[in-house]
């Protein structure tokens, strides 16, 4: 039995194992969700700086980097990004992957990032707690989503199955989170997968940001796991109107959603859901 082999499809790695059933064992092969570090560098005015290091599943790295910068408020509009590229010194992952992405800004120099360093290199919830932290987010530019978004509860109930159908790598590995963008009619428009739930959301929102699609006030986000503070914060930054999660919300996620008027629907399974914030975003039916 050996460790992971060469990479298969993006985000996957085959591995040999012994499959035991009762007292019998047989050699077999499985596919694991890929996990590798990604360094995000920022460049402006001829200066370059390493900004963040995150563990992620290879694939959609440009979208992940842009989504990360946008949801953290480093960039406010797609026009602020000159280009996203792989540097010449990017070191290769197994196969053809690269683990460094550079985002070059149109600004004459790098923005002031000292206040964000701890946030980037530690947990994204580091140092944030309670209403004081929420007020800081509000002062930092987070605002309530625009009114008007509403989805029928029957359409909401159909979304988990639709998300699962689009999780190609998860179906083969069982080891990835997913985030999906859906319309008010319940159409699942885009899906991103990653070993980290926040990375999956950054990939999804970064793709929309690069296309000039923010704010996403006409859309909702569905996440395959729980609704954490970071999931709610990133969704608010993108202007999303409703966050739905398959699993539970955290207490701080609920508090932030209520304070800033984001719809929050969790424990979304089969024909049941809990509405924790702005329940009018979900239209109940007979």
126 noted as active-site residue: yes
**Residue in 20, 82, 126, 211 annotated catalytic:** 126
Rounded to a whole number of angstroms, the distance between the first and last alpha carbons of the chain is 56
Cα separation, 181 vs 208, in Å, equals: 9
Which residue blocks in the chain are alpha helix, DSSP H? 61-71, 117-121, 130-139, 153-166, 168-173, 197-210, 229-237, 251-260
221 dihedral zone (left: phi>0; alpha: psi -120 to 50; beta):
beta
284, burial (CB in 10 Å: exposed 0-12, middle 13-18, buried 19+):
exposed
- β-pair type (12-21, 177-183): unpaired
Under DSSP, the state recorded for 124 is: T
> Of how many residues is the chain composed?
286
Give the catalytic positions in this structure.
Answer: 126
């Amino acid at each position: 039995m050996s460790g992971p082999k060469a990479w298969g499809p993006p985000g996957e790695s085959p591995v040999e194992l012994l499959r035991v059933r009762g007292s019998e064992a047989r050699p077999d092969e499985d596919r694991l969700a890929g996990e590798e570090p990604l360094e995000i560098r920022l460049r402006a005015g001829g200066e370059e700086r390493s900004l963040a290091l995150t563990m992620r599943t290879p694939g959609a790295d440009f979208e992940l980097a842009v989504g990360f910068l946008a949801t953290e408020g480093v960039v406010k509009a797609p026009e602020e990004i000159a280009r996203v590229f792989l540097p010449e010194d990017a070191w290769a992952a197994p196969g053809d992957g690269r683990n460094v992405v550079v985002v070059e800004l149109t600004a004459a120099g790098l923005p002031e990032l000292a206040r964000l360093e701890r946030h980037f290199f530690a947990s994204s919830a580091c140092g944030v707690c309670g209403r004081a932290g929420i007020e800081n987010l509000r002062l930092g530019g987070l605002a309530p989503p625009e009114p008007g978004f509403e989805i029928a509860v029957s359409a909401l109930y159909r979304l988990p199955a639709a998300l699962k159908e689009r999780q190609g790598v998860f179906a083969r590995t069982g080891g990835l989170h997913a985030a999906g963008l859906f319309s008010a009619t319940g159409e699942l428009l885009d899906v991103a997968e990653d070993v980290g739930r926040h990375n999956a959301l950054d990939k999804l929102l970064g793709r929309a940001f690069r296309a000039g699609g923010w704010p996403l006030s006409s859309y909702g986000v569905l996440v395959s796991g729980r609704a954490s503070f970071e999931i709610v914060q990133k969704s608010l930054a993108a202007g999303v109107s409703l966050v739905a999660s398959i699993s539970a919300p955290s207490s701080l996620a609920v508090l932030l959603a209520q304070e800033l008027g984001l719809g929050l629907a969790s424990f979304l399974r089969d024909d049941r859901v809990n509405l924790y914030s702005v329940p009018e975003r979900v239209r109940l039916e007979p």
